[in-house]
Amino acid sequence: MACTEGLPEDAKPAWRARRNWLLGLTRAMLLTLPQRLVAQTDDAQPVMQTLTVGGGQLDLQFAPGFDARLRTEAIAWTRRSADAVVGYFGRFPVARVQLLMAPTEGSGVRGGVTYGEPELLVRVRVGRDTTRAQFLDDWIMVHEMIHLAIPRIPRSQNWLHEGLATYVESVARGRAGLVAPATVWREWAKAMPQGQPQAGDAGLDHTPTWGRTYWGGAMFCLFADVQMLTRSARRAGLQQALQGVLAAGGDYGVSWPVDRILATADAAVGQTTLTELYQRLKDSPEPAALDALWRDLGVAGNTLNDNAPLAAVRRAILS
C-alpha cells in the first residue's frame, strides 16, 4: 500500500499479512462509525457516487457523516484532482478505482492510503468542517491518485513510489493551475533538503527514513527530470517516461521489479537516465548538489530568474 498518513503504513511489521485485514477493517469502519458523528449530519447512510474522468471510473463511497455540502465539495475536489492527474499522464491511470471517504473531527484532509490488492482502492479521511478553500489547497488526493500510475514494487524501493507521488503531485497541480509555479519551486527548495543523506545512510534502497523515502525520492525524480529534459532538448522528460510505463501496462494493479519500471521508462524516451541514476544512488549516500541546481534553474526564494542556464528546463517542467 502507499500512504500519506504519517510514516508509510507498509513500514509496519507483517504489513503484507495485514493488508487484506486492513481493507476489511476500512469497509467495516464505514458502516460502524461512532453515533456521535452520525447524529451530527442529515445523512446517516452511506452514499455512492460515480465519476468518469479521463477514461477511468471512480466509484466514490461516502461513509455516514458527510452532509450534502461536504459531499458536494468532496466530489468537486475529487474531479479536480483527477483532472490534474489526467493532464499529466494523458488519461486516468486505471480503468476503475474505489474511493472510500471517511469523516473525522475538525477540518482539512487528514491523510490517505492507496491499496493495490485485492482490488484498487484509495481511502481518505476528511474533516467534517473542511472548507472549500481547504479542498482547493489539498494535495493528498492527487498524491494518492498518482500512486495508481506506478506498479507496486518491493518494500526496499518504496522511496521510488513515494518520491514519484511527492514530485509528480506538485508538477500535476502546477500544470493544472491549482498552485502557482513560483510556489512549487519555493516549496521544493524548502523541503527537498530533508531528503539528503544523513549519518548512517546506506543509499536509497537501504535507508527507509521518512526524509529519504519521500524527499530523497522526490530529489531523485527532479534530478532525473532535469537531466532527461536537458538531454532531449526539452522534448521528453519524466512525464513522457512515466506515460511509457503506463502504456506498457504498468499501473498499481500489477507488481514489477524496480529495474523493469526504470528500463521501461527509459525506453519510452530513448535514454538510460533513470537506470543510471538508480545504479548510482541505490547503495550510495551521495548528497545531491541542490544549491547548484537551484542556481542553474534560476530558483532563488520567491524569485525565478529567467536568465539562468536551465531556466527553459525549469519552465518545461511545469508547462
pLDDT of residue 9: 37
**pLDDT of 15 strictly over 70:** no
**pLDDT of 39 strictly over 60:** no
Mean per-residue pLDDT, 214-239: 98
pLDDT of residue 157: 94
- The answer to whether 112 and 125 are in contact (CB under 8 A) is yes
pLDDT of residue 302: 86
- Between 314 and 117, the more confident residue is 314
Mean per-residue pLDDT, 35-56: 72
User: Regarding beta strands 109-115 and 2-3, do their DSSP bridges make them parallel or antiparallel, or are they unpaired?
Assistant: antiparallel
Indicate the pLDDT class of residue 18, thresholds 50, 70 and 90: very low
Q: Of 20-24, 55-59, 275-279, where does mean pLDDT reach its minimum?
A: 20-24
DSSP string, 108-141: SEEEEEEE-SSS-EEEEEEETT--HHHHHH--HH
Strand, coil or helix: what is 135? Answer: helix
Name the residue with cell 467495516.
Answer: 28
Name the residue with cell 541505490.
Answer: 282
Percent of the chain with pLDDT over 70: 87
pLDDT in tens, 183-211: 999 999 999 999 999 999 999 999 999 99
- Encoded amino acid at 84, one letter: A
What DSSP element (H or E) covers 125? strand 121-127
Question: How many other C-beta atoms can be found within 10 angstroms of the C-beta atom of residue 304?
Answer: 17
Mean per-residue pLDDT, 19-29: 43
Q: How far apart are CA 54 and CA 184, in angstroms?
A: 25
**pLDDT of 82 strictly over 90:** yes
User: Regarding beta strands 299-300 and 47-53, do their DSSP bridges make them parallel or antiparallel, or are they unpaired?
Assistant: unpaired
Q: Is the dihedral of CA 32, 122, 151, 277 positive or negative?
A: negative
pLDDT in tens, 86-97: 999 999 999 999
Query: Average pLDDT of the chain?
Result: 89
pLDDT of residue 319: 87
What DSSP element (H or E) covers 176? none
- Between 231 and 34, the more confident residue is 231
Spell out a b/e string for 65-94, using b for 16 or more CB atoms within 10 Å of the CB, else e: bbeeebbebbbebbebbbbbbbbbbbbbbb
- Between 67 and 30, the more confident residue is 67
pLDDT in tens, 102-161: 999 999 999 999 999 889 999 999 999 999 999 999 999 999 999 999 999 998 899 999
Of 29, 105, 108, 93, whose CA–CA distance to 62 is shortest? 29
**pLDDT of 4 strictly over 80:** no
Q: How far apart are CA 115 and CA 25, in angstroms?
A: 13
